[in-house]
Amino acid sequence: MDQDNLKESFGTLSETINGLMKLGYIHDFNISEECLVCHQTNVTLSPNDFQIDKVYRFEGESNPEDQSILYAISSAKFDIKGVLVNGYGISSDDTTSKLIEKLETHHVVNTATENKSNEATALRPEGNRVLNAELVEMNLNQFIEQLKNEITWKESDRNSLTIFKSSTLRIVLMGLHANAELKAHKANGVISVQVLEGKINFSTANQTSTMEKGNMIALQENVTHSVTALNESFFLLSIVMNSK
């Protein structure tokens, strides 16, 4: 299959893996020193032996700051196709430098604006919400009402909606019921949090900020933090994506 025919999105990480399997990407690759290894076939691929057909980024279902990256990889030399999950972000050293360099070339920011919309899902069958364009309008009050009316909000302690998504910036509207918590974690990029409704505690190892409507914070990348809702709360989470 021509790599240009790969879909821009299959949905979630698991849905994308399943979708790629149907297109022949049936093997799992792992990084080993200077190469990619497929343990199912005992094939070892050097950086010159494979190409990256597509890269997919995913945010965590319960926490949009959790990032996963999936590579669709093929090798004409060995007639093999498969996927590599979370290869990006591995520490580069002398033994993996060439391999990491090849992976990183697929994270160069494209300066041209690519119009994108969300795809329909079982929970949000309407689809076609604009996520990226030259100018994206966002009705926050309308989105908050949407989150409140969805089954996820009624059956769990949180709900979220990505309202802007590009290679450099992601904006997510987060809703938490009272006492809901985003457990301690790090973000691979600078973030900002702006409270729209309610009251939250935003905590790092050294500081806790109690935030209400009109309050906003910015946090440097890779700082461990957590969020606890003191009452029903909605806030905007913006993540500047780290391409390093």
Domain locations in the chain as residue ranges: 3-107, 116-240
pLDDT band at 40 (very low <50, low <70, confident <90, very high): confident
Kindly report which listed range (58-72, 81-95, 171-185) carries the lowest average pLDDT score: 81-95
Render the burial of 178-194: b for 16+ CB within 10 Å, e for the rest: eebebeeeebbbbbebb
pLDDT tens per residue, range 185-232? 888 889 999 999 999 999 999 999 999 999 999 999 989 999 999 999
DSSP-based three-state secondary structure for 90:
coil
Of 188, 243, 198, give the one whose Cα is nearest residue 219: 188
Q: 174 pairs with which residues across the strands? A: 160, 235
Of 185, 179, 221, 219, give the one whose Cα is nearest residue 201: 179
Q: How many CB atoms lie within 10 A of CB 196?
A: 17
Q: 130 pairs with which residues across the strands? A: 117
Cβ atoms of 96 and 106 within 8 Å: the answer is no
| CATH code for the structural domain at 116-240 | 2.60.120.10
pLDDT of 93 reads: 41
Average pLDDT over residues 178-191: 91
pTM (2 decimals)?
0.59
Residue with more model confidence, 243 or 145: 145
Residue with more model confidence, 99 or 134: 134
